[in-house]
Amino acid sequence: MLKPFHLRQSTAHKRLVELASSAGALHLRELFAEDPSRLQRMSASLGGMFVDWSKHRVTEEVMEALFALAEEAGWKEGVQGLYAGEHVNQTEDRAVLHMALRGAAADGFTVDGVDVMDEVLATRHAMGSYADAVRSSDRITDVVNIGIGGSDLGPLMVTKALRSLSHKGPRVHFVSNVDGAHLESVLDGLNPESTLFIVVSKTFTTQETMANADAAKSWVESASLPVSDHFAAVSTNIPAAVRFGVKAEHVFGFRDWVGGRYSLWGPVGLSIACSVGSSTFAELLSGARAMDRHFAEAPARENLPLISALLGVWYREYMGFSTHVVLPYAQDLDRFPAYLQQADMESNGKYVGRDGQPVEHPTGPVVWGEAGTNGQHAFYQLLHQGTDIHPADIIAVEAPLSAYTDHHTKLLANAIAQAEALMCGRNESEVREEMRASGRSQSEIDAIAPHRVFRGNRPSTFILLDALNAKNVGQLIALYEHRIFVQGLLWNVCSYDQWGVELGKVLAKNILAEWAEEGDAPTHDASTQHLIDRLKR
Ligand code: F6P
C-alpha cells in the first residue's frame, strides 16, 4: 500500500511555490539564450526513443525542487512496492502488476508471495499460438474485437499504430459503443463464415460489451454457424465466457491484479497479436519491459517517466495549467490521445486522497489531443493564442510510415515547427518588421500587428521515435503508464480504481428497468423524469 502524501505540507512544496511566483517572468527564449547546454542537459535517448524536455518552463532550481518533492513522496519506495506486488490498488485490495504481463521468467514478479511468471508465460504462449493460427487460417479474414474502455482502447490504439506490420494478417475491427450503429457499421460488408469475434471483458458483465456480444452471436447463429467456431474470449471471468458459448480452450484468462486500462499486454492484446503475429507482439512487450527496467533502475535525473510526471505536476499544481495535450505526428498513432485519456483520467481524475480525505489540490489534468497535422487546422489557434496554456507532448517518428516519403518530410517539418512556434512565439517588433517588409501601410500595421503577435513560452516535450515499430510503441506506452503512477503518488490518489464510473452505470440500469414499466410514476428530479417520459412516449 502506498502511504498518503500531502503535497502541500511538504518542504519542497514551499520552495516550488516560491519558484513558481517568479517563473511567470521566465521566457523559454531567454532560458535557451542563457544556457548553451540546455538541450544536452534536458534530453535523453532510450532504445529508439529520443526525448527532449528542454522546451519546458523550468530552471535547474525548479527541477531540483521537483526531484526533492518526489523524494519526499517516497517515489523510489513506491516503485519498489509496485514491482514487489504490494497491494497498491488499496481500495480493491489488489496488486498492480501489468509489468508482469510483459515480463520475463527471470523477473520473478510475485503476487501475495506466489511467482506469477509461469502462468503469465503459459497464457502468452497460448494466446500467441492461437493468434498465429488465426493469421494462417484461410477461414478467417476478419477479426472483430468486442470490448470497451481498457478492453478496446489499448488494443485498438496499438493495432492502428502497428498497421504497417500487419501484412498477411486478418483485417481487425473494433466494436465498443452500445449504440447499435457501431456494430452494424462494422458487420456491414463482413461475412459471418469468415469472421471471428473476440469478446474482451475483464468482468464479462459490462453492459455495452455483452449487448454487442449477444447481437454478434445472433448474427452468427442466423447464418446457421456454430458460435464456438466464431468466438474467442478474454476475461478474468472464465466461467461466464464459457457459458456464453466460447470453447474453454479459446478463453484466455488474466488476473485481477491487471487493471483494465493497463491490460493490453496480456490476452486483452489478442486482437493486436492476430493483426501483427505473436513475434511482433513479443517485441511490443520487450519495449515496454525496457521502459519498466529504466523506470525501476535509472536515477531520478535520468528517469524519463519520473521527469515527465514531475513536469506535469509543476504545471498542474504550480503554474495552474489544467490540461495536457498530446499531439502525435503519425496518423497511425491517431488513437493514442483517446487511449491516454482513459489511462490517465480514469487513473488520476480523483478528489479523494489515499487517506480517504478530499485532497486540497488539483489532481489529474484533462488529457486531449489529435494527430498532427489535422489538429493544426482545428484547435492550434487556441494552443498558440488562447488565454490558457496547454503543455503539449509532440510525438514524431523519424522513419516514414508510408511510401509517400515526401509527405513524411512535410509532416516532420510541421511537428518541429509547431514546437518552435509554441516556444518562441513572435514578438510585436518582429511582426511589425515583417509587415513593413511586405509593403503594408502604417495604419494596417497598427491595426493588425497585435493580432499577429504570439507570446510563445508555451511548453512542450518532443518525443522522437526512430521508427513506429512494436518495440518503440511498447516503450512509449509504458512511459506514460509510469508517468501516471508517479503523478498519482504525488497527488495522493488511488490511481488503480475507478469508483467514479459506477454511479452512471447503476442509474442507467435503473432507468432501463423503469423503461419497461407501465405509467410514469415520478422517481427522479423534474429534468431527468421529463427526459425519460418524453423518450418512453
Ligand atoms: O469504464 C469503466 C471500466 O470498468 C473500465 O475501467 C474498463 O476498462 C471498462 O469499464 C471495461 O470493463 P470490462 O473489461 O470489465 O468489460
Atom of ligand 1 lying closest to residue 150 CA: 8
State what percent of residues in the chain have pLDDT above 70. Answer: 100
Write down the H helix ranges in 102-167: 117-136, 153-161
Measured by CA distance, the residue closest to atom 6 of ligand 1 is 260
**Angle between helices 470-491 and 304-313 in degrees, nearest 10:** 50
Q: pTM (2 decimals)?
A: 0.97
Catalytic residue among 3, 14, 125, 377: 377
- Decide if 377 is catalytic: yes
DSSP 303-321: -HHHHHHHHHHIIIIIS--
Residue 516 — very low, low, confident or very high, per pLDDT cuts 50/70/90?
confident
**Angle between helices 526-536 and 502-515 in degrees, nearest 10:** 50
- 369 DSSP β-pair partners: 326
Mean model confidence pLDDT for the chain: 97
What value does the mean pLDDT take over residues 135-162?
98
312-359 pLDDT tens trace: 999 999 999 999 999 999 999 999 999 999 999 999 999 999 999 999
**Angle between helices 60-73 and 470-491 in degrees, nearest 10:** 70
CB atoms near residue 430 (< 10 Å) = 15
Tell me whether residue 353 is exposed, middle or buried, using C-beta atoms within 10 angstroms of its C-beta: 0 to 12, 13 to 18, 19 or more: buried
32-76 pLDDT tens trace: 999 999 999 999 999 999 999 999 999 999 999 999 999 999 999
Cα 68 to ligand 1 centre (Å): 36
- Decide if 167 is catalytic: no
How far is it, in rounded angstroms, from Cα 30 to Cα 198?
A: 54
Question: For residue 109, what pLDDT is reported?
Answer: 98
Taking CA 60 as the corner, what is the angle to CA 58 and CA 63, rounded to the nearest 5 degrees? Answer: 65
- Cell numbers for 373: 497535422
Write down the H helix ranges in 137-204: 153-161, 180-187
Q: What burial letters (b/e) apply to 364-388, b meaning 16+ CB within 10 Å? A: bbebbbbbbbebbeebbeebbeeee
214-270 pLDDT tens trace: 999 999 999 999 999 999 999 999 999 999 999 999 999 999 999 999 999 999 999
Cα 390 to ligand 1 centre (Å): 29
